[in-house]
């Protein structure tokens, strides 16, 4: 059996799981690849730590180096796997690997969010695998690239970040404190090295951009799309959602209508009972609507070493089989790519939940509803909660609205904050019915 020799940059949670998977499932992997897959070298900052991990895996035959050139200049190595994270340095590795005529595999969604269209022309027919970059173990890249390739994609809505889903699940189902739930997610190895991107929607935004490139060929950067995180969600919002039959989830949404594509990541209130509302804990779930297939749903572990390694190794196998010459996909000219435009953030049309903390005095509700009305916002439901003991004279006003434009909601909230009766910045959550 011929060999496919690979080198890896970075040997953290995912890297060591890739090594473990290659050893543990060697027979089936090699049989499916049609080649013997050999992890020859890893490049790391801390050699001693990597050597210790390799010893624990009984894989001391893997060479350890702190010099990337040891992989790039090794003519035996045909595939470079980047698992270190970060953006610019990881991009340099992609460039160097492709210039050295090596196939490239990455799990790095942040780097692809910024550089996917730079990498495509460098590949020049060399395989670039990135199955692990979106939703860990769920093979959603292949679903869009292959399985649904006969469809126009009408919409994608997904829970794309396991850490934030874990935190929201803990908060909603177990009354857990935000910080405690985050610490648990970190301890379980789900969170990014800097969990800011898990919490602020950035990680889900990166993944959404990769999916949108495959589905629509849309050339957008993270700064071009609406991205909000879960940091602002309070127990009052959770209580409102429960009372009105909703669950709060952080969703990445891509929708195509006529020649416009809408891309956004933000917390949503979703009807309890909807399939995606049942995706709990660290799990990810993605609904994809295609014009031939209709809706399909993909569910599985979106974070964690072994789940992500499952996708990385699937890319290695695909390369061994010679299947993956056009794996990157972004360079494809889609029929309608030239005519598609990214929808402006202000044009988002949705229902909203609004939370206001106001001075509990006569006339405030009248003024609030007048301002909402002035901005074309029609109230659907309203709930006023009593002040907490420690916050005497504060009323919590919780609204849901009928459909309206983001521009109008933002205009109304900007006007409201100017009033003395507003105690805290207003907060909104979009409602996806
Ligand atoms: N930190 C990511 C998450 C890992 O929690 O989903 C997978 O990209």
pLDDT digits (tens, 9 = 90+) for 81-137: 999 999 999 999 999 999 999 999 999 999 999 999 899 889 888 999 999 999 999
Atom of ligand 1 nearest to the CA of 164: 5
Ligand 1 centroid–CA 16 distance in Å is 17
Give the CATH fold of the 144-301+338-342 domain. Dihydrodipicolinate Reductase; domain 2 (3.30.360)
The predicted pLDDT at position 190 comes to 82
Query: What are the pLDDT digits (tens) for 418-430?
Result: 999 999 999 999 9
- d(C-alpha 99, C-alpha 101), whole Å: 5
Ligand 1 centroid–CA 51 distance in Å is 26
Higher pLDDT, 390 or 275: 275
Token pair for residue 64? Answer: 């350890």
Higher pLDDT, 219 or 335: 219
Looking at every residue in the chain, the average pLDDT score rounds to 93
- d(C-alpha 107, C-alpha 100), whole Å: 20
Token pair for residue 230? Answer: 């879960």
- Alpha helix ranges (H) inside 6-81: 13-24, 26-33, 47-56, 69-72
CB 254 within 8 A of CB 211: yes
In CATH terms, 3-138+306-321 corresponds, of 3.40.50.720, 2.30.30.100, 1.10.150.120, 3.20.20.70, to: 3.40.50.720
247-256, 311-320, 324-333: the lowest-pLDDT one: 324-333
Is 9 annotated to bind a ligand? Reply is yes
- d(C-alpha 405, C-alpha 350), whole Å: 7
Domain ranges of the chain: 3-138+306-321, 144-301+338-342, 345-431
The predicted pLDDT at position 292 comes to 96
Share of the chain above pLDDT 70, in %: 95
The predicted pLDDT at position 202 comes to 97
- Alpha helix ranges (H) inside 160-234: 162-174, 178-187, 196-199, 202-216
Atom of ligand 1 nearest to the CA of 107: 8
- Supply the residue whose CA is at minimum distance from atom 7 of ligand 1: 303
The predicted pLDDT at position 194 comes to 80
The whole-number average pLDDT for the span 264-287 is: 96
Question: Is pLDDT at 339 greater than 80 in this prediction?
Answer: no
Atom of ligand 1 nearest to the CA of 190: 5
Ligand 1 centroid–CA 180 distance in Å is 18
Higher pLDDT, 335 or 66: 66
- d(C-alpha 309, C-alpha 303), whole Å: 10
Ligand 1 centroid–CA 9 distance in Å is 19
The predicted pLDDT at position 388 comes to 67
| Bridge partner residues of 385 (DSSP) | 396
The predicted pLDDT at position 393 comes to 86
- Which of 160, 198, 285 for a ligand 1 pocket mutation test, highest count of atoms within 8 Å of Cβ? 198
pTM confidence score: 0.94
Question: Is pLDDT at 327 greater than 60 in this prediction?
Answer: no
Is 192 annotated to bind a ligand? Reply is yes
CATH 3.30.565.10 fits 345-431, yes or no: no
SS3 428: strand
- Per-residue pLDDT band for 255 (boundaries 50, 70, 90) equals very high
Question: Is pLDDT at 385 greater than 90 in this prediction?
Answer: no
Is 109 annotated to bind a ligand? Reply is yes
Atom of ligand 1 nearest to the CA of 133: 8
Is 130 annotated to bind a ligand? Reply is no
- Per-residue pLDDT band for 389 (boundaries 50, 70, 90) equals low
The whole-number average pLDDT for the span 380-400 is: 83
Give the binding-site residues of ligand 1, using a 6 Å CB cut-off.
136, 161-163, 190-192, 198, 203, 302-303
- Per-residue pLDDT band for 392 (boundaries 50, 70, 90) equals confident
Query: What are the pLDDT digits (tens) for 233-253?
Result: 999 999 999 999 999 999 999
């Amino acid at each position: 059996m011929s060999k496919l020799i690979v080198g890896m940059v970075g040997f953290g949670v995912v890297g060591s799981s890739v090594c473990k998977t290659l050893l543990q499932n060697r027979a089936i992997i090699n049989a499916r690849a049609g080649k013997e897959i050999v992890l020859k070298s890893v490049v790391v900052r801390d050699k001693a730590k990597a050597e210790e991990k390799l010893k624990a895996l009984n894989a001391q035959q893997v060479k350890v180096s702190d010099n990337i050139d040891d992989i790039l200049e090794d003519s035996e190595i045909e595939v470079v796997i980047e698992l270190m994270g970060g953006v610019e340095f990881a991009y340099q590795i992609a460039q160097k690997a492709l210039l050295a005529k090596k196939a490239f595999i990455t799990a790095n969604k942040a780097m692809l969010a910024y550089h996917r269209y730079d990498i495509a022309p460098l590949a020049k027919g060399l395989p670039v695998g990135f199955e692990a970059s979106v939703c860990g173990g769920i093979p959603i890249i292949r679903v869009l690239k292959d399985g649904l390739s006969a469809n126009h994609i009408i919409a994608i809505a997904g829970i794309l970040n396991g850490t934030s889903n874990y935190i929201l699940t803990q908060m909603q189902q177990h009354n857990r404190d935000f910080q405690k739930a985050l610490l648990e997610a970190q301890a379980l190895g789900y969170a990014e090295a800097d969990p800011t991107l898990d919490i602020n929607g950035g990680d889900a935004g990166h993944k959404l951009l990769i999916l949108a490139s495959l589905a629509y060929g849309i050339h957008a950067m993270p700064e071009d799309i609406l991205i909000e995180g879960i940091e602002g969600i309070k127990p009052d919002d959770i209580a409102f959602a429960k009372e009105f039959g909703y669950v709060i989830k952080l969703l990445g949404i891509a929708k195509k209508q006529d020649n416009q594509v809408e891309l956004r990541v933000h917390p949503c209130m979703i009807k309890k009972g909807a399939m995606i509302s049942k995706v709990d804990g660290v799990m990810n779930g993605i609904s994809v609507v295609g014009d031939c297939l209709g809706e399909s749903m993909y569910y599985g572990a979106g974070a964690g070493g072994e789940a992500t390694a499952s996708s990385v190794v699937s890319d290695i196998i695909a390369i061994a089989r010679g299947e993956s010459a056009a794996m990157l996909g972004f360079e494809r000219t889609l029929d309608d790519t030239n005519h598609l435009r990214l929808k402006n953030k202000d044009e988002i049309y949705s229902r909203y939940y609004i939370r206001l903390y106001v001075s509990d005095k006569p006339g405030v509700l009248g003024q609030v509803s007048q301002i909402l009305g002035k901005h074309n916002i029609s109230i659907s439901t309203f709930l006023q909660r009593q002040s907490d003991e420690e916050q005497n004279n504060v009323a919590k006003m919780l609204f849901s609205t009928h459909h309206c434009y983001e521009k109008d909601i933002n205009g109304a909230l900007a006007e409201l904050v100017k009033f003395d009766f507003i105690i805290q910045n207003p907060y909104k959550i979009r409602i996806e019915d």
